[in-house]
């Protein structure tokens, strides 16, 4: 698997960017323009597939670089923050009130951005380090 480190890293980063872009576009289209098609099954399945690829590639990378969540701080932060990212993303499209949906979307974007800086810095404090 080590031989494919660069390819797997590219797949991880590409799925990370696709996941963030999909959530942002769906969230904005739904909450600003009332576009109900963003909730259609094909787009939901696409989102789940992208997130599954993201996580699979992430787990492969941890094995290759021999650094693991709950052993290495920056990876612990990434895994822990993945939970609010997914939950806020869900509420951004599914909450009853528009205000809750918009706040959730903003929260998901902030969490995503922070995880990104943690990844780049290889440090739990991310851009604060
Ligand atoms: C929304 C969630 C995530 C984002 C935004 C994200 C972002 C990134 C980015 C930008 C990189 C490249 C870092 C660099 O330039 O060295 C990266 C690498 C990596 N990510 Fe993620 N990631 C996410 C989720 C995860 C999760 C949940 C894990 C752990 C299970 C993980 C494990 C890794 C590993 C091991 C690398 C390779 C680092 C290296 O090559 O040294 N990522 N991630």
- Residues 27-46 have pLDDT tens digits of 999 999 999 999 999 999 99
User: Does residue 105 line the site of ligand 1, with CB under 6 A?
Assistant: no
User: Does residue 57 line the site of ligand 1, with CB under 6 A?
Assistant: no
pTM check: above 0.85: yes
User: Does residue 26 line the site of ligand 1, with CB under 6 A?
Assistant: no
- Residues 45-77 have pLDDT tens digits of 999 999 999 999 999 999 999 999 999 999 999
**Both ends of the chain: CA-CA distance in Å?**
31
How far is residue 73's CA from residue 86's CA, in Å, rounded to a whole number?
20
Residue 60: enclosing H or E segment and its boundaries?
helix 41-65
Q: For residue 74, is it within any domain?
A: yes
The minimum-distance atom of ligand 1 relative to the CA of 116 is 5
Q: Residue 15 belongs to what domain range?
A: 2-122
Q: Ligand 1 centre and the CA of 119: distance in Å? A: 5
How many other C-beta atoms can be found within 10 angstroms of the C-beta atom of residue 94? 12
Q: For residue 113, is it within any domain?
A: yes
Q: For residue 84, is it within any domain?
A: yes
Q: For residue 127, is it within any domain?
A: no
**Whose CA is closest to 20, among 102, 128, 105, 119?**
105
Could you give the number of structural domains in the chain?
A: 1
Q: For residue 129, is it within any domain?
A: no
Q: For residue 98, is it within any domain?
A: yes
Q: For residue 63, is it within any domain?
A: yes
Q: Ligand 1 centre and the CA of 89: distance in Å? A: 19
Q: Ligand 1 centre and the CA of 2: distance in Å? A: 16
Q: For residue 60, is it within any domain?
A: yes
Whether residue 107 is predicted with pLDDT greater than 90 in this model: the reply is yes
């Amino acid at each position: 698997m080590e031989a494919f480190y660069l390819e797997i890293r590219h797949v991880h980063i590409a799925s990370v960017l696709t996941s963030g872009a999909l959530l942002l576009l769906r969230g904005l289209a739904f909450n600003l323009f009332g576009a109900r098609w963003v909730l259609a099954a094909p787009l939901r399945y696409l989102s789940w597939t992208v997130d599954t690829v993201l996580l699979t590639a992430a787990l492969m990378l941890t094995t290759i670089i021999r650094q693991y969540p709950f052993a290495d701080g920056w990876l612990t932060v990434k895994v822990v923050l993945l939970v609010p990212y997914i939950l806020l993303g869900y509420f951004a499209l599914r909450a009853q009130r528009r205000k809750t949906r918009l706040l959730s979307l903003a929260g998901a974007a902030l969490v995503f951005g922070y995880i990104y800086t943690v990844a780049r810095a290889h440090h739990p404090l991310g851009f604060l380090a």
